Amino acid sequence: NPNYLPFVVIPMMAVGLTALIAFIMQLVGLNQARKDDPYFRTAFIFVFVGVAASIVSFLTGGTFGNIFESISAVASLIVSVYTILGIYDFADEMGNTNVMLHGKIALFVGATSFAVSVIFHIIPVFIPRIEYIFDLFSSVLEFVAYFVFLIYVGRAKNMLSEKA
């Protein structure tokens, strides 16, 4: 229904912009941190898996596109989880229990949001008529997850700058 299109497109655009900012920050940060911790090395690899899956999804569309969009969402989840675990390791080494606690919260919120988002990308593969509704829900959940993730990365940055 075209009347609902703005309610789908606007949140998807917000998620896209937030995702782009997070992606750039991830690439820069992961590239620097991958030498220090194996969690960051794994996350760095999955960034490129997610990018490849997103490109295939964008170019194909339909059911095949939804499958690759799900792969991209799983890759994003893996990147986020491994990044949070790497930051958690740094916080543990530095004895920063506050950042460690926020890491547990970010891991739970982020993993839950992305996992539900993956499910919302898979359901339209089997029931295509409800794709727009699930795209809207996925966009909102991914936005929340990116926001929580960016806040945690900001806390980690502050922690590392205080130590330096």
Give 112-157 pLDDT, tens digit per residue.
887 787 788 778 778 778 878 887 888 788 788 878 888 998 899 8
Among residues 158, 4, 140, 141, the alpha carbon closest in space to that of 90 is found at 158
Question: Which pLDDT score is estimated for 101?
Answer: 94
- 6 by Cβ neighbours in 10 Å (0-12 / 13-18 / 19+) ranks as exposed
Question: Which pLDDT score is estimated for 89?
Answer: 93
pTM for the model stands at: 0.73
Question: Which pLDDT score is estimated for 21?
Answer: 81
pLDDT tens by residue, 52-107: 998 899 888 777 887 888 888 788 888 888 999 999 999 999 999 999 999 999 99
